[in-house]
Amino acid sequence: MRLPNYICDRWIESKGEGVPLVDPVTGARLASVGSDGLDLAAALDHARQVGGVALRQLSHAERAGMLARIADLLSAGREAYFDISRRNSGATEADAGFDVDGAIFTLKSYVRAARNLGDTRGWVEGGEVPLSKGGNFVGRHFLAPQRGVAIFINAFNFPAWALWEKAAPALLAGMPVLIKPATPTAWLAQRMVADVVEADILPAGALSVVCGGARDLLDHVREGDVVSFTGSADTARRIRTHPAIVERAVRVNVEADSVNSAVLGPDAGPGSAEFDLAVREVVREMTIKSGQKCTAIRRVFVPAAHAHALADAVATKLGKVTVGNPAAEGVRMGPLVSRAQQAAALEGIAALRTECELVCGGGENFEPVGASAGEGAFVPPTLLFCADGERAEVAHRVEVFGPVATVIPYADAASLARMVRRGEGSLVASVYSSDAAFTDALVADIADLHGRLMLVDAAVGGDHTGHGNVMPTCLHGGPGRAGGGEELGGMRALGLYLRRHVVQGSPERIAALAAGCADAALLSA
């Protein structure tokens, strides 16, 4: 099966053989994708000239209505999407739900957030700024949708969620979308686009999908376009420094890799509620989506006196996780998405082992249930123990994108903060402690290097939304090596697709322009 691309409102197959998509459980070939021969300059022009114009004519309520119809359509197609997720990503039911249901939930969240916008089309920010003594010349700030294309270059781990968490705010803001999913798992995103196109929900030109390599896509970006990238730090660097991006000052948002932390406070010893909550969360983070989450816990900082107890408790729970073919009875964790990812994860484990002890897992002599180790992309849950975190290098630097985490003991609060900061910018850290002084001091020490901090104590208990769960109403992104980008956070996310400008003139002219605009204060509501 060859999956076509959708550009210029037409389905077009690539030239050449394309790249095979495989089942990571068996290695069987499922389909192929490719972008060779596509006119990507024409694809972007069409989106700008047809899709952008049509979307900007619609009110916010009309755009939100389209998002609601997309959410309903995706809900109706859920079973088919789960099936693709199982076959192309080796996902368990829970993994597929994380991606597919997460996408639907996020779309619905934007529909809800937009309910107060009514028939407005643009945005007005703040009041009039007096500019003349007599009051007959004033300024006012506005925000307008950018007149380019929102180009999403996505990672392989969330083909559904990453598409719609970006597309929802972009379409609501009035920008057309061109999605380039990661090649190995492109099928799910391609299928969702196909379903939305067939249902005729969006105006012509508003949605395009290019499967396979990005090829010359970025050569054709121009002012007004937005490139939102999710993936590795290496690719992010290439995108940021691409000549067309630099010359045209194209807005780029980057979500890259991250060596996220979980921290147990000095009070969170064995027997405490915080200890148990931390153990549960570390195990969950290591196993859901086989650890292939940008937000997953990679480093677990524990007071030195409790570090071995924590490692033992996590290893005991990991020992009960059945790994193998998600179709087999009792399997809770599937493979990584490809043999290439498996090789990269095993390489990362080997690097960690140069300075850490193996607590459990590792990969040698591992036999998955209902599958062959020689054919699938399996990596067992692997916990390491790094006795000297202050001297360690690899544990703070290498993000092993799989079911892998490292326990690192700490001696005191100063050493802890120093080590957490060596992640050099992370998406998230979670703290398990009911010691308010400890937690407050740690937050003050590390907040500037994190996009999100999750504080868990006995009072919060199991009610938290999860270390790795990205909530559409809260900010997602992180500084430094995490890419420096910002996504979600409710209506804040529209800001990426809007351009601020000030208009100066007579109060009458300015008031006429402001009529029909929504209050930009809602963008931070």
17 is catalytic: no
Dihedral sign computed on CA atoms, order 192, 195, 197, 200: negative
Q: Residue 238 in 3-state DSSP? A: helix
199 or 453: CB nearest ligand NAP:
453
482's CB contacts (< 8 A; 6+ apart) are 255, 256, 257, 258, 425, 426, 427, 451
CB 115 within 8 A of CB 520: no
Say if CB 172 and CB 110 are below 8 A apart. Answer: yes
Least CB distance to ligand NAP at residue 41 (A): 15
In the block, residue with structure tokens 């045209």: 248
Residue 354's CB is within 10 A of a number of other CB atoms, namely 9
Six token digits for residue 283 = 């195990």
The minimum distance between CB 55 and ligand NAP, in angstroms, equals 24
CB of 179 closer than 8 Å to CB of 167:
yes
Bridge-based pairing of strands 357-360 and 226-230 is: unpaired
Q: Which of 254, 162, 186 is nearest to 485 (CA)?
A: 254
CB of 14 to ligand NAP, least distance (A): 12
User: Cβ distance 486 to 523 under 8 Å?
Assistant: no
Q: How far is CA 12 from the centre of its chain?
A: 28
C-alpha–C-alpha distance, residues 275 and 286, integer Å: 17
Query: How many CA atoms, within 13 angstroms, populate the side-chain half-sphere of residue 476?
Result: 24
Q: How far is the CB of 525 from ligand NAP (least distance, A)?
A: 23
The closest of 203, 163, 237 to 47, measured between CA atoms, is 203
Closest to ligand NAP by CB, 339 or 499: 339
Euclidean distance between CA atoms 398 and 257, whole angstroms: 9
Set 8, 125, 165, 255: catalytic member = 255
Q: Using alpha carbons only, how large is the chain's radius of gyration in Å?
A: 24
CB of 159 vs ligand NAP, minimal distance in Å = 10
Shortest Cβ distance from residue 117 to ligand NAP (Å)?
27
Residues that bind ligand NAP (CB under 6 A): 153-158, 180, 182-183, 213-214, 218, 230-232, 235, 238-239, 255-258, 294, 399, 401, 427, 482-483
Residue 79 in tokens = 């079973």
The span from the CA of 426 to the CA of 435, in Å, is 23
Work out the burial of residue 119: count CB atoms within 10 Å of its CB; fewer than 13 is exposed, 13-18 middle, 19 or more buried: exposed
What is the per-residue DSSP string for 426-461?
EEEEEEE---HHHHHHHHHHHGGGEEEEEEE-TTTG
The single-letter DSSP state of residue 471 is P
3-state secondary structure of 310: helix
Q: Minimum distance from CB of 317 to ligand NAP (Å)?
A: 24
> Smallest distance, Å, CB 434 to ligand NAP?
30
Q: Which residue is closest to ligand NAP by CB?
A: 231
Contact at 8 Å (CB) between 398 and 426?
A: no
Which residue lies nearer to ligand NAP by CB, 18 or 495? 18
Catalytic site includes residue 255: yes
Cα(341)–Cα(402) distance, integer angstroms: 8
Output 232 or 372, the one with its CB closest to ligand NAP. Answer: 232
**Shortest separation between residue 217's beta carbon and ligand NAP, angstroms:** 7
Closer to ligand NAP by Cβ: residue 25 or 256? 256
**CA–CA separation, 265 vs 223, rounded Å?**
48
211, 281, 285, 294: which is the annotated catalytic residue?
294
Query: Which of 153, 185, 158, 154 minimizes the C-alpha distance to 99?
Result: 158
> What tokens does 34 get?
């490719």
Six token digits for residue 365: 């002599």
Minimum CB–partner distance for residue 338 and ligand NAP (Å) = 9
Tell me which residues are annotated as active site.
255, 294
